[in-house]
Amino acid sequence: MTSVLVYGAYGHTGRFVVAELRDRGFDPILSGRDAAKLPGGRPASVDDPASLDRALAGVAAVVNCAGPFAATAVPLAEAAVRAGVPYVDVAAEIEANLDTFARFADADIAVVPAMAFFGGLGDLLATTAMGDWTAADEVHVAYGLSSWRPTPGTVAAGRVSRERRDGRRVRYAGGRLEHRDDALPELEWTFPGPLGARPVLGEFSMADVVTIPRHLAVPAVTTYMTADAAKDLSAGGERDAAETFVVDVVVRAGGEERRIAAHGRDIYAVSAPLAVEAVERILTGRAKKKGVASAGEMFDAPGFLRALAPHITVELS
- Where do the domains of the chain lie? 3-116+269-310, 118-266
- φ/ψ of residue 186, rounded to 5: -110, 125
Query: 3.90.78.10, 3.30.360.10, 3.40.50.300, 3.40.50.720: which CATH number matches 118-266?
Result: 3.30.360.10
- Bridge partners of 197, per DSSP, are 190
Q: What is the CATH number of domain 3-116+269-310?
A: 3.40.50.720
**pTM (global) more than 0.85:** yes
CB distance 64 to 88 below 8 Å:
yes
What is the arithmetic mean of pLDDT over 198-226?
A: 97
Length of the chain: 317
**pLDDT, the chain, mean:** 96
Answer yes or no: is pLDDT of 237 > 80.
no
Q: What percent of the chain stands above pLDDT 90? A: 91
Answer yes or no: is pLDDT of 238 > 80.
no
Q: Are strands 61-64 and 3-7 parallel, antiparallel or unpaired?
A: parallel
Is 3-116+269-310's fold the same as 118-266's?
A: no
Taking only the tens place, the pLDDT of each residue in 7-47 is 999 999 999 999 999 999 999 999 999 999 998 999 999 99
Confidence band of 234 (pLDDT split at 50, 70, 90): confident
Q: Please tell me the distance from the alpha carbon of residue 291 to that of residue 267, in angstroms, as a whole number.
A: 27
Confidence band of 233 (pLDDT split at 50, 70, 90): confident
User: Could you tell me which of 33, 23, 28, 21 has the C-alpha nearest to residue 5?
Assistant: 28
